[in-house]
Structure formats: structure tokens, C-alpha cells
């Protein structure tokens, strides 16, 4: 699928979500994927994002991510909501408690509180199937119940680009409180970078470019994210690197969290 086809499909999904749901929002980590989704939202809605943009702040993000977030939010006029689990942060929850506990408290529960406060019924996320085997199980429109749980064994059927933007769960007892919408689920990492190269004006966090033989390929919290060996200092060089690399995209993320069972357990509980 070419870049134009990828873009058209994503814009179609974004417009479908906006038409189907009363109160959607989009999650933005400041990484390449979620920033690309914001760019696609601007394209889909004629230069302006017509719903809030949520950034989940764990207190452990890189300084460069906060700087990038604030700069782009101002330049693009985003309706930015910063979601934090203040209770957990005040008692010192962090990576020392283990990745499962930390992600659940500082990411998933922070998002729960944000949804409860604002009443969002749809969340647009920038996950892709090729990122991780568990994310490959996702649907474009993916319902979550009142406990934020993802029932990966019983998901809506999606065939021939026909999507079910559900307001009810798969059974009478499984009530959907919000739906996750994944507009770039069908993209690959290489597609994202080739699209960034094509569009020219999508802002990119400088952490993605090599410095002293290292660069970040996937951005997360500072204690759980490491750079990879790389000499790619431009978008063109990143594209060429990805054409031949055998290194997994999330190899620089905390490996206990990336194990299949752990990731599935986290996502079943509402992790992004």
C-alpha cells in the first residue's frame, strides 16, 4: 500500500470516528507516531484538530519531550489536556515499584481519571500492528469496558474496511464505556518515516536523530528507555537504516514490560 493509500485510509478512519462519537479525544506522546496522527487530524479537519489532545504525564518523561510538547501545542493551537495521577505521584510511585505497577498507576490510571473527568467516549491512539505481537491483535475500533479492560478474545469483526464503532459491548454484560480508535494501525514504522519525509513539515523530536553514535528509536519514560546504536542523523538516513535493520523497534524499551505476557496483561487492563 502506497503512502497516499495509507493516508486516505487513516483520514477516513478519523472522520468516521469524529462522526460516530459524541466526545472524542486523541492521545499524544510527542513521539513520531502520535505526532503523525496529529498531522493527519489536521489534514482530515482542514488545518485544525476539533477535539482535545491528551498527554499522559508520568513525571518521568525526557526533558526534550516536555519541551517539544509545549512548543508544538502552542504552534498548532492544541486544546491540550495534561493527564496525571497525582495521588500515585504524591506517594512516590515510579519505576522502582516495577514496570507493571508503574505503567498501571502512572499511565493507565491517569488516563482513567482523565476520561472520568471529561467523559470522553472515544480515544484516538497511534499504535501500529507491526510494533508488537500483542498490538497486532487489535481492531481499528476497539471497545473497552467500564473497568478499562480489553477483551482481546471477543472483538468486533472488521472486513473489507467496514468498521463497527460500537456503543455496546460484545455481550449483554460487557458494556463499552469508551472505544479505542487506531487510525494508523495498518502502517509500518518505515511508512511513518517515509511519510514524514514526504510531508516535510511534520515536526520531529530531535531525540530520534543520532548523536555520538546513538539515537532513540522509540520514546518513553526516561528510566525505561535506552538509545540504540545508530549514525542516522537525518530523516533520509533513518529511512535507509530501517530498510536493512534487524533490530526490533522497541528494543530500547524496558524489556520486562515488552515480554509478550506482560504486554498483553498491561493492554488487557487498559495500557496504550
Write out pLDDT tens, residues 52-94. Answer: 999 999 999 999 999 999 999 999 999 999 999 999 999 999 8
Decide if pLDDT at 124 tops 50. Answer: yes
Segment 199-205 shows an average pLDDT of 96
Q: What's the pLDDT at 138?
A: 78
Q: How does residue 139 score in pLDDT terms, banded at 50, 70 and 90?
A: confident
Grid coordinates belonging to 22: 459524541
Q: What is the pLDDT of residue 81?
A: 98
Residue 168 is predicted with a pLDDT of 45
CATH code: domain 3-187 is 3.40.50.620
pLDDT of res. 165: 66
Is 171 a residue whose pLDDT tops 50? no
Q: What are the angstrom distances between the C-alpha of 115 and each of 127, 178, 190, 255? A: 19, 9, 32, 29
The pLDDT score that the predictor gives to residue 100 is: 81
pLDDT band of residue 266 (cuts 50, 70, 90) is low
CA distance 34 to 125: 7
The answer on pLDDT for 258 being more than 50 is no
pLDDT the model gives residue 21: 94
pLDDT bucket at 133, cuts 50 / 70 / 90: low
Average pLDDT over residues 242-261: 71
Q: What is the mean pLDDT of residues 136-160?
A: 70
Percent of the chain with pLDDT over 90: 63
pLDDT at 169: 43
| pLDDT, mean over the chain | 86
**pLDDT number for residue 130:** 85
Q: Distance between CA 253 and CA 132 in Å, rounded?
A: 12
pTM: 0.86
How would you write 194-259 as a 3-class SS string?
HHHHHHCCCCCCHHHCCECCEECCCCCEHHHECCEECCCCCHHHHHHHHHHCCCCCCCCECHHHHC
Mean predicted confidence (pLDDT) in 232-246: 96
d(CA 109, CA 102): 10
**Confidence check: pLDDT of 18 > 70:** yes
User: Where are the chain's structural domains?
Assistant: 3-187, 190-257
Is the distance from CB of 107 to CB of 268 less than 8 angstroms? no
116 has pLDDT over 50? yes
Confidence of residue 136 (pLDDT cuts 50, 70, 90): low
Amino acid at each position: 500500500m502506497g503512502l497516499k493509500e495509507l493516508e486516505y485510509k487513516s483520514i477516513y478512519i478519523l472522520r468516521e470516528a469524529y462522526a460516530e462519537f459524541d466526545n472524542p479525544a486523541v492521545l499524544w506522546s510527542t513521539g513520531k507516531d502520535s505526532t503523525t496522527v496529529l498531522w493527519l487530524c489536521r489534514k482530515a479537519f482542514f488545518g485544525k484538530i476539533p477535539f482535545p489532545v491528551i498527554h499522559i504525564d508520568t513525571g518521568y518523561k525526557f526533558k526534550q519531550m516536555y519541551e517539544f510538547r509545549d512548543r508544538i501545542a502552542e504552534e498548532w493551537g492544541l486544546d491540550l489536556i495534561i493527564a496525571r495521577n497525582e495521588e500515585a505521584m504524591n506517594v512516590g510511585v515510579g519505576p522502582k515499584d516495577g514496570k507493571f505497577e508503574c505503567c498501571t498507576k502512572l499511565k493507565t490510571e491517569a488516563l482513567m481519571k482523565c476520561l472520568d473527568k471529561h467523559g470522553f467516549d472515544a480515544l484516538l491512539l497511534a499504535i501500529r500492528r507491526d510494533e508488537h505481537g500483542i498490538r497486532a491483535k487489535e481492531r481499528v475500533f476497539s471497545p473497552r469496558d467500564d473497568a478499562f479492560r480489553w477483551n482481546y478474545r471477543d472483538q468486533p469483526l472488521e472486513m473489507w474496511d467496514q468498521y463497527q464503532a460500537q456503543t455496546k459491548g460484545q455481550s449483554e454484560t460487557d458494556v463499552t464505556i469508551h472505544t479505542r480508535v487506531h487510525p494508523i494501525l495498518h502502517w509500518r514504522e518505515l511508512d511513518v518515516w517515509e511519510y514524514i519525509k514526504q510531508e516535510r513539515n511534520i515536526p520531529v523530536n530531535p531525540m530520534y536523530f543520532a548523536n555520538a553514535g546513538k539515537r532513540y528509536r522509540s520514546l518513553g519514560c526516561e528510566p525505561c528507555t535506552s538509545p540504540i546504536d545508530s549514525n542516522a542523523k537525518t530523516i533520509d538516513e533513518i529511512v535507509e537504516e530501517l530498510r536493512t535493520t534487524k533490530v526490533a523497534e522497541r528494543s530500547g524499551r524496558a524489556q520486562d514490560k515488552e515480554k509478550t505476557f506482560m504486554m498483553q496483561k498491561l493492554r488487557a487492563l487498559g495500557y496504550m
